[in-house]
């Protein structure tokens, strides 16, 4: 059983993932990515994965995208939390969920290479899993993320994203929620809506704008070509998006990822979705009021891995970013994608 341990100095929880146990010698050489031979995520190898949680099919009945439990989960669904003190420390059982969303039956089709409808199917699975898992009151936060490339932590080359649901609200998310709440308390406005309005006005850091979504390079970007994607109209909850919303989001996300892939030579990257916490969805169902609907705004953070965090970053939480976000945005804005007739 994995375990959550609390660091009382950093006020941070750590997952000690016993099921993914590695002996010291396992870390000496980094393992090469698989080449697709005997890939458990490929079409035809469905029996090699744990039983499916959900899938979306093509009209012919074959699958477009499917969601499965992670075979080597960082957290497990079964069991009790058993919060306990161990001397001065706090611990609890590693209860949660760890799932894999296989984005395509085709090993060699990366997410941005898929069609808009196919990407929308992946987003529909994200939504379905958020709704389903938020019913489990042991879970406080559900993070959906994608690691692309070995440098970004991907261990299987087959295109997939992941979901980890935790029994606590992660510190990074708690900080964002608190900033948004405080901003709203003083100004009665959403901090993200304010940021989007300013970015739309200044234009310099915009990467892509359409009728519904906007992507920009954040003013204080930590990494070269860091991007933030958000709905232009205020919305706190990704899981409340309609199929039509998800189709539009798929088109926008595809465009942004294709820009990054074409101009930065398919960089390793992570993207992650910050949406309303599961405990909020639970409170809403039981009729408890909260200002999250007003002060929180879901978004996707896209973090290319072009530079390494080094001693200074680890020691201070400061980042040194050698590429001004204004330059990064101008570069990404000007990328010529085939489907854009005007370029
Ligand atoms: Zn594969
Ligand atoms: Zn907003
Ligand atoms: Zn965020």
Q: What is the pLDDT of residues 217-260, one digit of tens each?
A: 999 999 999 999 999 999 999 999 999 999 999 999 999 999 99
Spacing, Cα 26 to ligand 3 middle (Å)? 33
Of all ligands present, the nearest one to the C-alpha of 194 is 2
Residues of the chain whose pLDDT is less than 50? 29-30, 32
For residue 66 the two structure tokens come to 């499917």
Of all ligands present, the nearest one to the C-alpha of 160 is 1
- pLDDT computed for residue 323 by the predictor: 96
Q: What are the start-end ranges of the H helices in the chain?
A: 116-133, 171-187, 191-202, 243-263, 278-285, 292-295, 311-316, 325-333
Respond yes or no: is residue 160 known to be catalytic.
yes
- pLDDT computed for residue 30 by the predictor: 47
**Rounded CA separation 49/160 (Å):** 13
- pLDDT computed for residue 33 by the predictor: 56
- pLDDT computed for residue 339 by the predictor: 61
CATH number (3.40.190.10, 3.40.50.300, 3.30.450.40, 3.30.428.10) of 3-23+38-333 reads 3.30.428.10
Spacing, Cα 231 to ligand 3 middle (Å)? 13
Spacing, Cα 195 to ligand 3 middle (Å)? 13
Residues 6+ apart with CB under 8 A from 327: none
> What does the buried/exposed string (b/e) look like for 251-274 if buried means 16 or more CB atoms within 10 Å of the residue's CB?
bbbbbbbbbbbebbeebbbbbbbb
Measured in degrees and rounded to the nearest 5, phi and psi for residue 277 equal -65, 155
Spacing, Cα 244 to ligand 2 middle (Å)? 20
The active-site residue out of 148, 158, 160, 274 is: 160
- pLDDT computed for residue 23 by the predictor: 62
Burial (CB count within 10 angstroms: exposed 0-12, middle 13-18, buried 19+), residue 183: middle
Spacing, Cα 302 to ligand 2 middle (Å)? 19
Of all ligands present, the nearest one to the C-alpha of 179 is 3
**Rounded CA separation 201/179 (Å):** 23
For residue 108 the two structure tokens come to 């060699």
């Amino acid at each position: 059983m994995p375990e959550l341990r609390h660091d009382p100095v950093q006020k941070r929880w750590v997952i000690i993932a016993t099921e993914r146990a590695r002996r010291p010698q396992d870390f000496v050489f980094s393992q090469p990515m698989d080449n697709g031979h005997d890939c458990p995520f490929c079409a035809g190898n469905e029996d090699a994965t744990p039983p499916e949680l959900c899938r979306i099919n093509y009209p012919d009945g074959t699958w477009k995208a499917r969601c499965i439990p992670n075979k080597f989960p960082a957290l497990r669904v079964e069991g009790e939390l058993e919060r306990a003190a161990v001397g001065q420390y706090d611990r609890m059982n590693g209860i949660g969920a760890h799932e894999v969303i296989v984005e395509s039956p085709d090993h060699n089709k990366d997410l941005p290479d898929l069609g808009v409808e196919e990407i929308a199917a992946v987003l529909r699975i994200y939504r379905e899993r958020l709704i389903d898992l938020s019913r489990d009151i042991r879970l406080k936060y559900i993070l959906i993320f994608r690691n692309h490339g070995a440098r970004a932590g991907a261990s299987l080359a087959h295109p997939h994203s992941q979901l980890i649901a935790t029994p606590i609200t992660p510190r990074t998310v708690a900080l964002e929620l608190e900033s948004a709440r405080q901003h709203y308390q003083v100004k009665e406005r959403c901090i993200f809506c304010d940021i989007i309005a300013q970015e739309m006005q200044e234009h310099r850091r915009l990467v892509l704008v359409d009728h519904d979504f906007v992507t920009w390079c954040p003013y204080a970007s930590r990494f070269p070509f860091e991007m933030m994607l958000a709905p232009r109209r205020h919305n706190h909850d990704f899981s409340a998006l309609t199929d039509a919303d998800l189709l539009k989001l798929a088109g926008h996300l595809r465009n942004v990822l294709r820009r990054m892939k074409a101009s930065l030579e398919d960089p390793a990257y992570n993207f992650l979705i910050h949406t309303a916490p599961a405990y909020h969805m639970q409170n809403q169902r039981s009729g408890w009021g909260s200002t999250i609907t007003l002060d929180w705004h879901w978004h996707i953070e896209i973090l290319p891995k072009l530079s390494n965090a080094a001693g200074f970053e680890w020691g201070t939480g400061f980042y040194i970013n050698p590429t001004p976000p204004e330059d990064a945005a101008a570069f990404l804005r000007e990328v010529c994608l085939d489907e854009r007739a005007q370029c």
